[in-house]
Amino acid sequence: MAQTVMVSPRRTGAYPTIQDALEIATDGAVISIEPGVYSEALRLRGRRLTLTAAADPGSVTIDATAADGSAVACDSAEVTLRGLVLAAGDYPAVAAAGGRLQIDACQVSAGYAAGVSVSDGAHVQASDVKVVQGQYGIVIEDAGGILDKCEVRNIADDGIIVRLGADPTIRNCTIEGCGFRGVYVYQAARPTIERCDISGTGDVGISVAHQSSPTITNSWVHDTHGVGIMFGRGCGGIVEGTRVEDTAVPGIHVDEGATPVIREADDTAHRPKVGVSAIEGATGQDAEKVDKLLAELDSMIGLGGVKAEVRALIDEIQVNEWRRDAGLAVGAVSNHLVFTGAPGTGKTTVARLYGQLLKALGVLPNGKFKEVARRDLVGQYIGHTAEKTTSVFEEAMGGVLFIDEAYTLSRSSGASADFGQEAIDTLVKLMEDHRDQAAVIVAGYTAEMADFLDANAGLASRFAKTLEFENYSPQELVLIADRIARNDDYMLASGVDDALFEWFSQIERDQNFGNAREARKLLEGMRKAQSGRLRALGRVPGRDDLRTLVLDDLLAATR
């Protein structure tokens, strides 16, 4: 069993400094460090050790900013750093020359130096590492390993440098806000860059030089001041399934004499998750919650066709998430839906469940539900509507925006028709720009919704599917009435079910028919009739009297 050595300046029996603990620790030991700031510069030559925060990640800081060296410097060592904040001045905060370095859930910063430096044949395995300051973010030279789910932000020069034949795998990483290049690959380096998000650079997103050959797959390079990806003379490599957007022209620049293979991303394909969100989405799935929500859907009365359609959508989303996590291509999928049918058919309830299902599947960050109508989207003057619609959409980001009676936005809806059209046009753009961040569900009568979808040339194509909510049958309405009664602690007397069936069978089903709302309205009338009947008894009614709705109550409610 590995030796564990405690470090705490306050606890009796613990070592007051990390250096004190290192002096007595045997190979393979775990140095467990209690919360605090430790102003030390550690040198680990040929050692095999683990340094870990004893409490939550980030509770321990090793601060070498005033020292002449790195916070942790490893030379031909096997070192694991876990849950630490590591800071240095003009030296790399963490440096590994040879050996093996594993660094998990750490935050790193430096002054005029790299946050992390790996060299001389070392192997690095970094996961959930955040480099928040430094001249460079991470430098890997003549070394290999894996950077997974790491973040490099607000670096003065280059975010990640790979050089001298280094061949690391950089995946699911986010590199943002670097003063010069996002990733600089040179001197015959051969990194694999997959599912990474690179943006906000002062110059090129990914620069390849000096006989280097990277493999860049399923990544997103965007919003750079220079070109997205640049290949210098003599360089090769592969660029596949990678989006290059909002960069200098051309998005991918290839010098004469460079020979990369470039397979452009399919503009019609669903955008794969990149950067740290690629992992967050994958680990956010909750199969147990999905099953529970689907069981809740199944428990709703009627809606057989709607239930089947929702299950088919969820099956497709689930499989696409599995494919995306496996790095496979995924076709374009929209989470936006159209619900058509009469009022009171469960559209709002199903929309809420759908949002919770998307959250349980990791497709959306939360299952929040925002229901709006025309008045919430349409303003009083030109320009006001776009502002209101955008504000409402932003409030629904991460969840479901449910627009009831959406057809009232179309041009035929009244005097303020142009403002309604402005709301539709704004929605179309927002739905496309943020299709992975929100689900929009529009609902209304079947015929009117067809006219609504014609109000903008691109509107219908934004929706994945139309779900038709049919009127409930008389028997289903009886079941709904019985369920409403039981939920409110009432019960129907013998014979009332048959009378309800007869009533729902003969009631006129025009456009104003409210389905489940009719059942609830009828139950309200029966309760009022019961109240009058019980008051006329001349005595205090018993528990069963208070709970039971009888045939006379139904007759009184339907007169």
pLDDT of the residue at 418 = 62
pLDDT at position 340:
87
Whole-angstrom distance between the N-terminal and C-terminal Cα of the chain? Answer: 83
- Residue 208: predicted pLDDT: 98
E strand or H helix at 324, and its extent? helix 304-325
For each of the domains in the chain, give its residue range(s) and CATH number, in order of start.
1-134 (2.160.20.10), 159-281 (no CATH), 284-469 (3.40.50.300), 474-557 (1.10.8.60)
**Is residue 268 very low, low, confident or very high in pLDDT (cuts 50, 70, 90)?**
very low
Strand 94-104 vs strand 72-82: parallel, antiparallel, or unpaired? parallel
Q: Which residue has the higher pLDDT, 318 or 4?
A: 4
Mean pLDDT of 10-30: 93
Average of per-residue pLDDT values in the chain: 87
Contact 395, 355 (CB under 8 A): no
Give pLDDT, residue 520.
86
pLDDT tens digit string along 129-138? Answer: 999 999 999 9
| pLDDT at 280 (0 to 100) | 45
185 pLDDT more than 90 = yes
pLDDT higher than 80, residue 20: yes
Residues forming a β-bridge with 371: 402
- Among 460, 469, 446, 462, residue whose Cα is nearest residue 349: 469
Supply 164's token pair: 């001298």
The answer to whether residue 435 scores a pLDDT higher than 80 is no
Residue 31 CB partners (closer than 8 Å, separation 6+): 5, 7, 18, 21, 22, 25, 49, 50, 51, 52
Q: Report the pLDDT value the prediction gives residue 281, as an integer from 0 to 100.
A: 41
- 463-478 pLDDT, tens digit per residue, is 878 898 888 888 888 8
- Residues 360-395 pLDDT 10s: 887 777 778 889 888 888 877 666 788 888 888 888
Alpha carbons within 13 A on the beta-carbon side of 207: 22
Is the pLDDT at 264 greater than 80? The verdict is: no
Rounded distance, CA 77 to CA 75, Å? 5
Tell me: the pLDDT tens digits for 274-303? 877 655 444 456 778 888 888 888 888 888
- The average pLDDT across 417-429 equals 77
Q: How does pLDDT run across 143-157, given as a tens digit for each residue?
A: 999 999 999 999 999
Q: How many CA atoms lie within 13 A of 502 on its CB side?
A: 9
212-259 tens-digit pLDDT? 999 999 899 999 999 999 999 999 999 998 999 999 999 999 999 999
Task: Quote the pLDDT of residue 515.
Answer: 78
The confidence band for 329, taking pLDDT boundaries of 50, 70 and 90, is: low
Calculate what percentage of the chain has a pLDDT beyond 70: 92
Query: Which of the pair, 192 or 515, is modelled with greater confidence?
Result: 192
Share of residues in the chain with pLDDT > 90 (%)? 45
pLDDT for 413 beyond 50: no
Of residues 179 and 495, more confidently modeled:
179
The answer on pLDDT for 417 being more than 50 is no
Q: What is the pLDDT of residues 447-504, one digit of tens each?
A: 888 888 887 777 887 887 889 888 888 888 888 888 888 888 888 888 888 888 888 8
